[in-house]
Amino acid sequence: MPLDRRSRQSFDAHLDRRGQRGRSCLRGSEAMALFVKVARLEDLPPRTGMMVVGPCDKPMALFNVGGEVFAINAVCPHRGGPLANGRLDGHIVACPWHGWTFDVRTGQPDHGGGHCVTAYAVTVARSDIYVGWIKP
Give the DSSP per-residue string, 82-126. BGGGSEEETTEEE-TTT--EEETTT--BSSTT-----EEEEEEET
At residue 128, the pLDDT reads 96
What is the residue-averaged pLDDT of the chain?
81
The C-alpha atoms of residue 71 and residue 106 are separated, in whole angstroms, by 9
pLDDT above 80: residue 108 = yes
Query: Is pLDDT larger for residue 65 or for residue 8?
Result: 65
Q: Tell me the average pLDDT across 42-71.
A: 95
pTM over 0.95? The answer is no
Q: Tell me the average pLDDT across 2-11.
A: 46
At residue 55, the pLDDT reads 87
